[in-house]
Amino acid sequence: MAAELQPLEAAAAPAPRKRKPKHKKSKNPSKRVKQKASPMATAKPRQPSKKMKKLFRKRAREYHSDEEDDGDVEREEEPSSGDEEDFDVRDDGSGGSECDDEEDERGAQHGITRFVGGCRAFRVAFMKIMKKHLPDDPLGPILSAHKKLVAEKLAEDDAEHKKKGETKKEKQLAAENGHIKPANFLDAKEKFLIGVATKGVVKLFNAVSKAQNAQIGLNPSKSKDTKVLAKRRKQAFFSELQKTNTQVSNSRKEEKSNVTGWAPLRDSYMLTSSKLKDWDKMAEPAAVVGQEHESSESSDE
């Protein structure tokens, strides 16, 4: 522009005058331009070089680092992929953009791309699993390929446990067969039974008191009294027996007629077989053996 102006002005000015500096123009046209361009360059801005353009692009990318954009990541990858060719996974790393971890690690770009690469695979697998509709198993979702085998085994274990539990319960029930816990209170039946037992005890005690009261004065070791004792006892005993109801019977043994108070004094001590009871009288079978006679004879001995 400047250069065009000048020849115009030069042409306009020397139009009335003659062209003198012709060889000056043809000799150094560039010099004139340069001289005239350099002052003009300081006035207007320079156009950025290619390196600077690259730098500007990087900065623009960094400016968008907070946004989750696949485009950003891809843009980021492409130039850096040119720098490093180690990692294998390029396209799969996009899954990492969804990971929360990635955001924190964007600072270290090379490390990020590696992690992002691994996360992508995980993301794909995870999505596949979540999309799969699983049957509602009581044993829980089974992810392994050997679904059926595992399920069968678990079902078997369950059945075994159930069987064991049932047999144990049955055993316990059988052990407690017949065992009852008594009630806290006395019901009518128990009261009746206690009444029956009490009656028996009362009868026994009364009989004892009667019998023993009668012999308070008598000494059982004395032979004289044994007769009286024996008589009294027999009478008392039989009368008591008749008095008692047929319902109640006590474990009193019938006493022998010629009994003394202390067992070794008796004739039949330690002689259990009744055949030998009256061995001294066997020679006299004809003799009438009354109870009083017996006792009198024994007392004489």
Q: Which residues bind another protein (CB under 8 A)?
A: 174-184, 190, 193-202, 204-209, 211-213, 215, 220, 229, 233, 237, 246-253, 255, 261-264, 266, 268-270, 272
Task: Choose between 81 and 249: whose C-beta lies nearer to another protein.
Answer: 249
Q: At what angle do helices 29-43 and 2-12 cross, to 10 degrees?
A: 120
Phi-psi region of 259 (alpha: psi -120 to 50; beta: other; left: phi over 0): beta
Minimum CB separation from another protein for residue 275, in Å?
17
Task: Choose between 155 and 194: whose C-beta lies nearer to another protein.
Answer: 194
Calpha distance 291→297 (Å, rounded): 10
Task: Choose between 6 and 215: whose C-beta lies nearer to another protein.
Answer: 215
- For the chain, the first-to-last Cα distance in angstroms comes to 181
**Pick from 64, 71, 120: nearest CA to 96:** 120
**Pick from 125, 122, 74: nearest CA to 100:** 122
On whether the CB atoms of residues 121 and 92 are closer than 8 A, the answer is yes
Minimum CB separation from another protein for residue 258, in Å?
12
Task: Choose between 118 and 200: whose C-beta lies nearer to another protein.
Answer: 200
Calpha distance 134→144 (Å, rounded): 12
Task: Choose between 90 and 203: whose C-beta lies nearer to another protein.
Answer: 203
Task: Choose between 1 and 174: whose C-beta lies nearer to another protein.
Answer: 174
Output the CA angle 43-44-45, nearest 5 degrees: 125
Minimum CB separation from another protein for residue 195, in Å?
8
Minimum CB separation from another protein for residue 200, in Å?
4
Calpha distance 139→125 (Å, rounded): 23
CA 61, 67, 69, 74 torsion: positive or negative? positive
Minimum CB separation from another protein for residue 204, in Å?
7
Minimum CB separation from another protein for residue 292, in Å?
19
